[in-house]
Amino acid sequence: MQHQQIKLQNNLETLFINSPGSTAASIQIWFRAGSALETGKDKGIAHFLEHMFFKGTPTRPGAAIAHEVESLGGEMNAFTSFDYTCYYINSPNEHLPKM
């Protein structure tokens, strides 16, 4: 397995992992946001935002995004933990450029 860590100009840290011979691809976005980092009025906001993410946008409804991913054999989901939230898309690796 090969990996490369790159910090973009906007300070976003990226990690690319290449596993030769794998037939699957995964795109993941991790945020330092979870219940352990929330206080007072913020309690539950990371989990709430996780659900809002899948509502889509005015120009791309959530159902349209899900249909596009699923039509290529992919799946998208998310989870919130104590100190992080992860959004991901898994797909056959031949469709990675379309994800």
Which residues are marked as active site? 50
Q: Determine which helix (DSSP H) or strand (DSSP E) holds 68, and give its type and residue range.
A: helix 62-71
- For 28-44, b/e burial (b = at least 16 CB within 10 A) is eeeeebbbeeeeeeeee
Tokens 């906001």 map to which residue?
Answer: 45
Contact 79, 85 (CB under 8 A): yes
